[in-house]
Chain A
């Protein structure tokens, strides 16, 4: 078998925010670093992030602290987070943001010239460092331009398909160059996975083609464990029409500025179901909701939030209910309109100019719908529906070092799990990439210094290469890989989506089994040069692995919590599931195994912080 070999102390797979930050830290520690990315450098999904980086800098509200950020993150994750990771994240995020500024990132400023912070869902104080609505681009460009001067080797458009092992430990990785299709072996003392998420397992997603769960799958097949895979975040409002933009995010800001969700009957259905625990803080009529947008009083007290601003999981489920019961929009979503608010405003102030108001408040949304959707949001309703946005589950790693149970194998960013628990707060992803990416790089470098290189075993390389070539070489098989992928996406969307039921998920498992068979027979034209059909054949392996992990984990968690909603178990069941994480791993027979793993007891001083931030009460999960 013909392949080239590169040797590094640390190999980082994935060059988004987490991978770049890990590579920078490892390079700074003086070890040799290889950074592999599937796309060109700087194109990773991090560029899409808009909102900002959550860090308790306390620049805008002095009351903010790491303790409050920690408590917010745990509450958002419904207390099944890895508390140690949440603690480290909250404590170290401010330094990571300041460091980014020292490397050239430019953030919006407060009047006294410091980094400005904005409000966001679930964060008690204004906490998100940002620059307009393009924080992700600023972050990735800063890391990229800083990193390339540190001596790391960047391997662009290279896809890793196997981790190589020497006994128990990791010894390198095997992959192919996308352009010529040739094989490449990376020998490394430590490997850091930073491959992002799994959105492409679903039909409707805000994620790019790269999000095929590579890191999840590479780790799983190399003997690492995955946890919390049932927790997938569906953002309630993605575009649904036209098809070209299906899934692209419609910011929560639209609802924050007075946007109303309506069904095909014109009814504002979010008023129909307000959860008991939120009734006290949610408006029960249109007038009060609109007054909240203006931060005005209603009947002498602060106006309460409109029901459109309930938690993401709840809003998404209400939209699904409307569509399932036949009250959806023509293209399978619901309507999000700005006109009601505008008319109400005009009633108060006849000179109110709706078109100007919305263009100023929501410039990027105006632009997005105008250019891509042919919709003028100042006059026409948007069609929106939930879109797969983020996976909370991922590789199980040690909180301090980010190392998995496979010696030498580290993971960080979206492909690692723990920090977010059952649900991630907006803004915590970018800070997670920085804080835990840095730690992964630091400890991977340390590991590399303390260990010599493992052996690369030729039989593993040969096997992986044969497997890769089977999709273009072997005559038997005629499945179209794009069709298999589309069928998987359809299955996950319909049967393991936002609202889940045991019978549907069992059906999904059956179909996934059939899709595994079909994926083996997927074939692409005999041509190794930049052949997306061939690449898709190989991606299916990862997609099916994560799809199975999500489905099996979701079946086991017989309750509803955060990103998991069970129609057949619509409530939380804390005594059974509030103190455990679901773990999947690959059994000796090659089949996926599942077990529950108790969450370690939280130290008393952290419990005290939670109690303080929770009106003096300790949540049931922590008792």
Chain B
């Protein structure tokens, strides 16, 4: 069995440092296996989150050799990310407040989620109170609904990570809030929902500040579910916001007929384009 050095961030809000551990690396192992091994044999209080260990729950997000990754889906023989001759650096997601070791406080994301008005279905299509829709309509939004909320996209988004646009005070200065890629996708999953008649464009523009995204696509790159966050989610939403608020004709329509008309027209709108995967 080969050995590898894991350079793991240890510490809490009061500060921390990298510490080296040696782990046995066997066939097919992933980073999370070694973290567990180190916990069981050398550092019982090493903090990390995990649940399903199969890439389905999105709990074990971390930065591995500088890349936002799920620890359960990063194999130690994956040469793209790992060279066993060098220490493997494992650190917490740096965008969120640190709690301990590999665990960060991601509660901000849950607060943003609460800002998004919930699903509002149209009236049922059938007398028995049920709806009809086509499989094509279902397929169209699958991409957005498969998000596992690992928050790696939030972690890598430079608007959040570098510019700290999280709606709170940084160095004495109040920063705007940017909802981040995850919640653009959440809004897209509602806006494109075949039954939903809610209107969240004002929210996108003024509350989640979609305009702050400048389409660098870093979020798309790190998504473990391979969602085309930017191309299929954020850009079409930006176009809708532009149509509503910055297109002079649409603006006039909106002024004359009001919100209700725009809600009704939203029911009849053409679906968002989808870039094939």
A241 to chain B, nearest CB (A): 7
- A482 near B39 with CB under 8 A, answer yes
Cα of A372 to Cα of B76 in the assembled complex, Å: 11
Number of interface residues of A (CB under 8 A): 65
- B54 near A531 with CB under 8 A, answer no
Say yes or no: is B175 at the interface (Cβ < 8 Å to chain A): no
Supposing A104-B193, A373-B28 touch, asked if A131 and B99 sit within 8 A by C-beta, the answer is no
Supposing A179-B103, A530-B103 touch, asked if A243 and B39 sit within 8 A by C-beta, the answer is no
- Residues on the B chain within 8 Å of A373, using CB: 28
Say yes or no: is B47 at the interface (Cβ < 8 Å to chain A): yes
- B44 near A533 with CB under 8 A, answer yes
Cα of A529 to Cα of B28 in the assembled complex, Å: 32
Residue of B nearest to A112 (CB): B132
Which of A140-148, A282-290, A310-318, A415-423 touches B? A140-148
Supposing A242-B27, A527-B45 touch, asked if A145 and B119 sit within 8 A by C-beta, the answer is yes
- A244 near B133 with CB under 8 A, answer no
Cα of A86 to Cα of B145 in the assembled complex, Å: 32
Cα of A483 to Cα of B44 in the assembled complex, Å: 11
Residue of B nearest to A57 (CB): B130
Cα of A209 to Cα of B35 in the assembled complex, Å: 14
Cα of A242 to Cα of B76 in the assembled complex, Å: 12
B136 to chain A, nearest CB (A): 9
Say yes or no: is A210 at the interface (Cβ < 8 Å to chain B): yes
Cα of A137 to Cα of B195 in the assembled complex, Å: 19
- Residues on the A chain within 8 Å of B54, using CB: 48, 245, 248, 368, 372
Chain A 127-151 near chain B by CB (<8 Å), digits 1 or 0 = 0000110100110010001101100
Residue in B12, B28, B130, B131 whose Cβ sees the most chain A Cβ within 10 Å: B28
Say yes or no: is B40 at the interface (Cβ < 8 Å to chain A): yes
- Residues on the A chain within 8 Å of B58, using CB: 43
- A47 near B148 with CB under 8 A, answer yes
Residue of B nearest to A134 (CB): B146
Which of A6-14, A95-103, A319-327, A549-557 touches B? A95-103
Say yes or no: is B265 at the interface (Cβ < 8 Å to chain A): no
Instruction: Select A141's contact among B49, B145, B195, beta carbons within 8 Å.
Output: B145
A603 to chain B, nearest CB (A): 29
Chain B 203-232 near chain A by CB (<8 Å), digits 1 or 0 = 000000000000000000000000000000
**Chain A interface mostly helix, strand, loop or mixed?**
loop
- B118 near A149 with CB under 8 A, answer yes
- Residues on the A chain within 8 Å of B73, using CB: 371-372
Say yes or no: is A201 at the interface (Cβ < 8 Å to chain B): no
Cα of A116 to Cα of B194 in the assembled complex, Å: 16
A328 to chain B, nearest CB (A): 18
- B118 near A532 with CB under 8 A, answer no
Within 8 A of B (CB), among A502-518: none
B126 to chain A, nearest CB (A): 9
Cα of A109 to Cα of B132 in the assembled complex, Å: 8
Within 8 A of A (CB), among B21-45: 26-30, 32-33, 39-41, 44-45
- Residues on the B chain within 8 Å of A107, using CB: 138
- A145 near B113 with CB under 8 A, answer yes
- Residues on the A chain within 8 Å of B176, using CB: none
Supposing A244-B29, A532-B45 touch, asked if A113 and B132 sit within 8 A by C-beta, the answer is yes
Instruction: Select A42's contact among B48, B149, B194, beta carbons within 8 Å.
Output: B149
- B131 near A530 with CB under 8 A, answer no
Within 8 A of B (CB), among A222-277: 241-245, 248
- Residues on the B chain within 8 Å of A114, using CB: 130, 132
B14 to chain A, nearest CB (A): 10
- Residues on the A chain within 8 Å of B12, using CB: 529
Residue of B nearest to A375 (CB): B28
Cα of A115 to Cα of B131 in the assembled complex, Å: 9
> Can you sample 13 A-B contacts with CB below 8 Å?
A47-B52, A47-B148, A104-B190, A106-B142, A108-B138, A113-B132, A134-B56, A138-B145, A241-B28, A524-B45, A525-B45, A530-B103, A532-B47
